[in-house]
Amino acid sequence: QQQVKQSPQSLIVQKGGISIINCAYENTAFDYFPWYQQFPGKGPALLIAIRPDVSEKKEGRFTISFNKSAKQFSLHIMDSQPGDSATYFCAAGQGTYKYIFGTGTRLKVLA
């Protein structure tokens, strides 16, 4: 019940395209859903986060869509750029410290 399932494992997108990464959770007590971006040799960095009282949050080219009834959330990267090539992790937390991370999606944006 503590798992967060993330897909796809890897993704290749053309420059300018839309990258979509999906996550699903089981524990309905989760109430904070951040997405982290990680470059090789670096620690994860917060990209965008959402709480379940809204269905969508947008920051620049990054959008989180949240479906509470389906217990799913997704990250959309619009106008994907080669600099977006990284590993993306979704996570879920119970409003506090103990994040459960997905297994990651390795995104490659072709120039």
Question: If DSSP codes are grouped into helix, strand and coil, which group holds residue 84?
Answer: helix
> How many CB atoms within 10 Å of residue 101?
16
CB of 91 to another protein, least distance (A): 8
Q: Are 94 and 84 in contact (CB under 8 A)?
A: no
Binding footprint of another protein on the chain (CB under 8 A):
4, 6, 32, 34, 36, 41-46, 49, 51, 89, 91, 95-104
Judged by CB, which is closer to another protein: 4, or 13? 4
CB of 57 to another protein, least distance (A): 13
Minimal CA–CA distance to 88: which of 98, 74, 78, 99?
A: 74
CB of 15 to another protein, least distance (A): 26
